[in-house]
Structure 1
Amino acid sequence: MFIMRFTERPYVAYTEDDVRHSFRSSVRLTFPNSHFNPELGADLYNEYLDEYEFSEEVGFDGLMLNEHHNTPTCMGAAMNLEAAILARITKKAKIVLLGNPLPIFDNPIRLAEELAEIDMISRGRLVSGFVRGTGIESWATNTNPVHNRERFEEAHDLIIKTWTTPGPFRWEGRHYQFRVVNPFERPLQRPHPPVWIPGVGSPETLEWCARHHYPYIYLETDPEVTVSMTDLYSKAAAEIGYEPGPQNFGYLWRIHVQDTDEKAVEVGKGFLIGNAGVGRVPLPGDFMAPAGYNSREGSKRLLEQYKHALRPDPLYGGVDAAGWDKVVESNRVVVGSPKTVIKKIRQGLEVFRPGILGVWTNDGTIGHKDTMRCLQLMKEEVLPAVREMGKELGLPGPFEQAP
């Protein structure tokens, strides 16, 4: 099993009321950047890098980063910069980028060059994930959501060709045209760094991943729907002649551990309470999925997720708005002492059977000190137990068995 550690690297100095009183009560896209204090931002960036550096010492196999724009919930607006820093200050852990939002880039070749540099600086530790990006990213960069999937697939194809085909060559696509493709720097890993794709269950993306043998990382999706999505991937894989295993799937899960259940519950509330958190305050539907962004089948799949989701407040929605107790009860957030957390993780692994486990240790208002204690307990008790579970349950990661 491959175990990676993640945080959204949030900005923390704002309240839920600030969000509710902003334009359309949205914590993304239109939440005023006048709330941002660069001095606090500087402190937070350095704390998050310290936590990631310690995560390697803790024993995580990978350090996962993501990218969002126009939001305090994730300060990773330039994820590749953070990745380059981690590539230099760490030695063993994979640098897992989940992922670069391809449709918002007008020059995929520049992105291919950046990623090649990160792979070389890290001496071959890059895992290069790609995403379509939420609708927020389309709004923030003024890119047409109707062409989002087409741009995603074409940019992916161009990047892979850039990494694997000697230049110079010419590219004349529907969305990208380059007379000369000939970046001098190429990745250390051959033929190219591993590619993983995260998401929440778009059927088109699942089928596309299966055709490319790319692991699919479920981003905290509803348990019941996750199983049906795995079936969709497996069916697409069977059509091209292979049977996927745990190495083809991952699951990102909010997990926070403290010395006692009581302490963990109190600290873990920071995931949801104190500011908008992730999922606490709903986002306007046209912000997240503007017209043309999703296919009909993709929209139907998302509605299935909400049908099985916790019942939130009817006015404000948001999965987490169902309330802290219900969210914990459902295991959407796992908090507790090492003993409690280990038990709950096993229950999830038996259902999801992922070869990749993303441990989302902190967010919202969970502070640096509590995060470091969480990581220490992960090192001493949780990670060794989870590794044994992976062996016992037969959950190989993608570096143990090829997807």
Structure 2
Amino acid sequence: MKIGYFTERPYRWVPEEALFQNHAFFAVSNKYFDREKGADDYNYFLDEACYAEELGFDAVALNEHHGTPFCMGGVMNVEAAILARITKKVKIVLVGNPLPVIKHPLRMAEELAEIDLISRGRLVAGWVRGAGSEQFFNNANPAYNREMFNEAHDFILQAWTRPGPWRYEGKHFHYRHVNPWALPYQKPYPQMWIPGVLSPETVRWCAEHRYPYVGLGTAIGPTCDLWDIYADEATKHGYQAGSENFGYLIPTFVAETEEKAQELGKGFIYGGGQTAFSRPEHTLPPGYNSKSAIRLLAKQPGGSWLGVSQDKLNQARSDGPTEETEYQEIRRKLGNSYHKAQ
């Protein structure tokens, strides 16, 4: 088992009333951005990643969001390049680059190769489709999201493994001259981990490529269902899924006392853990998700990615299971799902 450290790197200084008026982080006006505080935050987050390495974490993970104080990582590859130079042992995990909205897979192949070289092979190159709100920010058509994701992924692998120069003419991407000079330190290319929020199509795609699937704090029940799908799909492709194929992001709060940790946890229930990332109309634009993915998302507590009422939030804050009960249930469900995959 590998244990990594991850934080959204949020901008913490937006007035609370602005968030309530907007009903979400995405689309809050950048008039609230303070340059000095932003500069302090970026340096703080980099120092924090270095400290995670000192504490013995196997990996530090970065993600990317746009147009929102929820995550300062608008261009996470910049942070990854810095960490590649100032850290020594820790894996640098990207969860991940949103291929359909960046729209330049050749540039992406070059950037990641440089990071892998600077770190001497410590990069894990994760890919994502990009949240629904990213489609708005980057002027991307959500109906073509999965097509562009698949084509960009396949192109990047070719760019890293096929000697150039060569010409590429695809459905969504076109290049006259493909010949990236700097190639990844790892041969043939870096490891790849794929994060997700309960899309069966993504899980099947991961199993087909033997990429680990990482549930992003998703409800345990639906997550285990997807692990079963992964295991079945792996069998179809001639291999047996193991612990190396499954990952899970779990929000954790540490404080001097149980009471202080619980108080911190209450903030997460509203502040990004449930509906605060973006409003429903931005979260799931038409054509972005399949019907089966939406059905699984609706199984989240309170339908968390589809919208949560204040009553549900209050219930989650006050009536949730005890720490020991919750941990026992997580161990039981994850253990059963893992053993079924064997």
TM over 0.5: yes
* 199, 204, 208: which one aligns with 2:205: 208
Structure 1 counterpart of 2:19, which letter?
V
* 281, 285, 289: which one aligns with 2:284: 289
1:352 corresponds to 2:298: no
1:63 corresponds to 2:49: no
**Matched residue, 1:17:** 17
* 23, 31, 36: which one aligns with 2:33: 36
For 1:181 and 1:311, the matched residues in 2 are separated by: 41
- What SS does structure 2 have at the residue aligned with 1:208? helix
Per-residue deviation, residues 45-78 of structure 1 (Å, max 9, x unmatched): 1111111100001000000000001111100001
Change (3 A) 1:117 1:65: same
Moved more, 291-300 or 223-232: 291-300
For 2:322 and 2:182, the matched residues in 1 are separated by: 47
Structure 2 counterpart of 1:289, which letter?
L
Structure 1 counterpart of 2:25, which letter?
V
The 8 Å contact of residues 67 and 74 in structure 1, kept in 2 or not, is answered as: yes
For 1:311 and 1:175, the matched residues in 2 are separated by: 30
Compute the displacement of 1:170 (Å): 1.6
For 1:326 and 1:111, the matched residues in 2 are separated by: 45
- What SS does structure 1 have at the residue aligned with 2:156? helix
Compute the displacement of 1:306 (Å): 5.1
Structure 2 counterpart of 1:283, which letter?
S
Unaligned runs of at least 5 residues, structure 2: none
**Matched residue, 2:148:** 151
**Matched residue, 1:363:** none
**Matched residue, 1:121:** 118
Per-residue deviation, residues 210-261 of structure 1 (Å, max 9, x unmatched): 0000000000011111111111111111111112011100000011222321
The 8 Å contact of residues 210 and 236 in structure 1, kept in 2 or not, is answered as: yes
Matches within 5 A, 1:361-400: none
Normalised by the length of structure 1, the TM-score is: 0.78
**Matched residue, 1:26:** 24
Normalised by the length of structure 2, the TM-score is: 0.91
For 2:203 and 2:35, the matched residues in 1 are separated by: 39
1:242 corresponds to 2:239: yes
The 8 Å contact of residues 221 and 333 in structure 2, kept in 1 or not, is answered as: no
- What SS does structure 1 have at the residue aligned with 2:53? helix
The 8 Å contact of residues 224 and 308 in structure 1, kept in 2 or not, is answered as: no
For 1:310 and 1:120, the matched residues in 2 are separated by: 37
- What SS does structure 2 have at the residue aligned with 1:54? helix
Compute the displacement of 1:271 (Å): 2.8
For 1:116 and 1:45, the matched residues in 2 are separated by: 23
Structure 2 counterpart of 1:218, which letter?
G
- Aligned identity (percent) is 46
Unaligned runs of at least 5 residues, structure 1: 332-339, 355-392, 395-403
Change (3 A) 1:353 1:98: farther
**Matched residue, 2:317:** 324
The 8 Å contact of residues 162 and 181 in structure 1, kept in 2 or not, is answered as: yes
Structure 1 counterpart of 2:282, which letter?
F
The 8 Å contact of residues 70 and 277 in structure 2, kept in 1 or not, is answered as: no
* 221, 229, 250: which one aligns with 1:232: 229
For 1:110 and 1:313, the matched residues in 2 are separated by: 39
- What SS does structure 1 have at the residue aligned with 2:298? helix
**Matched residue, 1:103:** 100
- What SS does structure 1 have at the residue aligned with 2:182? coil
Compute the displacement of 1:263 (Å): 2.8
Select the structure with the greater relative contact order (CA < 8 A; seq sep ≥ 6).
1
Compute the displacement of 1:121 (Å): 0.5
- What SS does structure 2 have at the residue aligned with 1:256? coil
Structure 2 counterpart of 1:53, which letter?
C
**Matched residue, 1:84:** 81
Compute the displacement of 1:165 (Å): 1.2
The 8 Å contact of residues 6 and 63 in structure 1, kept in 2 or not, is answered as: yes
1:165 corresponds to 2:167: no
- What SS does structure 2 have at the residue aligned with 1:265? helix
For 2:330 and 2:41, the matched residues in 1 are separated by: 31
